[in-house]
Amino acid sequence: MAPDDFSLGSVQVSLSPEERFEEYLQSRGMRQTEQRRTLLKYVFTQHDHFDADQLIARLPAKGEEGYVSRPTVYRTLNEFVDAGLLRRFELDGRAVYEHDYGYPQHDHLYCTRCRNLIEFQSDELIELRNAVAKQHRFRVTSHRLIIHGLCQNCLKQSRPRRKQDRV
Amino acid sequence: MAPDDFSLGSVQVSLSPEERFEEYLQSRGMRQTEQRRTLLKYVFTQHDHFDADQLIARLPAKGEEGYVSRPTVYRTLNEFVDAGLLRRFELDGRAVYEHDYGYPQHDHLYCTRCRNLIEFQSDELIELRNAVAKQHRFRVTSHRLIIHGLCQNCLKQSRPRRKQDRV
DNA sequence: ATCATTGCAAAAGATTTGCAAGGTC
DNA sequence: GACCTTGCAAATCTTTTGCAATGAT
């Protein structure tokens, strides 16, 4: 993580997530703690989607060095969202998180079989969104598109060596 | 509700929701009950979005004629979804329902201030969705787009008589 | 008469909160 | 030292479930 070139995709940012979060904490009179540092590290060393339980599963267990309690995990995830580091959305009734800071806007294909999220980016979609909003005199702050269905892999597995494999 | 012409929007259907649900029940060896009839009536006399609590608020209270218990409301809403009468989606962590049967596919603008859902329909969006899916060899079963922001009314209220009211 | 359905109470799953003890500035 | 944070336990919120009583076919 070079401090001066943290650009990814189409978004230009000058601060690392750590620096950005420190700013956020300071601006609110909040404190840097071991737990917050731990969580920041665990959340930003992998670029993937996760829910609270998946994150907790990766963290040190109770009794081990670096353990963070469940309430603190939830509290801190909310802080990351507030700080603009993470984006949250709902999937099957639970909260799912993904990197926001420094990452380009995108949407998802959701495979209902393997439960994988596949990212895609579409400028057309943004234009369409803005056009619709304009028609309704609506001021957009964000959007969320999730396309449900079956991914390539699951399509293969579900019907092996068949001729009529097309939609 | 004329039995032979229940077409709405672009979708052609020949059965009323009541008839359709009866078919569904019979095909599964399920029974017609007072509670299911009550709920069907309450759900289909208004075309709007609602969650379980909002529906329960409209229903007769405990002790009154036509009361339906909370577990039965939840059970029956699931049946309506199974039967294709209602569509369910998640908003702010709770399940929201809307008419599906006989209604055209559409998406939503969601005002985060007044919490109103505004429907819109876009063929372009469907095409875009299909194109994206095709690229990823993904078989679409459905999608959900929600645009968050502020609606016309809330924009007015939040900043009355100002000149720089544009985005 | 059989077997689905209901209401009640309780459970379950996800997330939040009160509070005393401990950590950070 | 002031006061923010943490972990624990418990509460909350939404939805589901076990079960005995009731109702539909």
Residue A143: per-residue pLDDT: 96
d(CA A49, CA A38): 18
d(CA A99, CA A104): 9
CATH number at residue A23: 1.10.10.10
Answer yes or no: do A132 and B147 touch at CB < 8 A.
yes
Q: Does any strand C atom come closer than 7 Å to the Cβ of B72?
A: yes
Whether the Cβ atoms of residue A127 and residue A140 lie closer than 8 Å to each other: no
Please, which pLDDT band fits residue A159 given cuts at 50, 70 and 90? low
What average pLDDT does the segment A112-140 reach? 96
- Chain B residue closest to A145 (CA)? B145
pLDDT tens for A13-71 read: 678 999 999 999 999 999 999 999 999 999 999 899 999 999 999 999 998 999 999 99
Q: Distance, angstroms, CA A119 to C1' D4?
A: 38
Say whether both B117 and B133 belong to one domain. Answer: yes
Q: Which domain holds residue A70?
A: 12-102
Say whether both A84 and A43 belong to one domain. Answer: yes
Residue A118: per-residue pLDDT: 96
Tell me the backbone φ, ψ of residue A73, rounded to 5 degrees: -60, -50
What average pLDDT does the segment A101-112 reach? 94
Say whether both B111 and B157 belong to one domain. Answer: yes
Residue A56: per-residue pLDDT: 97
Q: Report the number of distinct structural domains present in chain A.
A: 2
Last residue of a domain, one of B102, B124, B143: B102
Return the SS3 of A71: helix
Residue B88: per-residue pLDDT: 95
Say whether both A19 and A90 belong to one domain. Answer: yes
Residue B12: per-residue pLDDT: 56
Say whether both B41 and B121 belong to one domain. Answer: no
Say whether both A73 and A46 belong to one domain. Answer: yes
Last residue of a domain, one of A85, A102, A119: A102
Q: Among partner residues B90, B129, B151, which is closest to A93 by beta-carbon distance?
A: B90
pLDDT tens for each residue of chain B, 167 residues long: 444 455 555 455 688 999 999 999 999 999 999 999 999 999 999 899 999 999 999 999 998 999 999 999 999 999 999 999 999 999 988 999 999 999 999 999 999 999 999 999 999 999 999 999 999 999 999 999 999 999 999 998 865 554 444 43
Is residue B114 a part of any domain in this protein? yes
Q: Distance, angstroms, CA B71 to C1' D19?
A: 14
Say whether both A42 and A88 belong to one domain. Answer: yes
The token pair that represents A157 in the structure block: 């597995």
pLDDT tens for A69-94 read: 999 999 999 999 999 999 999 998 88
Query: Which residues of chain A neighbour B164 with C-beta distances below 8 Å?
Result: none
Last residue of a domain, one of B102, B127, B147: B102
Say whether both B72 and B117 belong to one domain. Answer: no
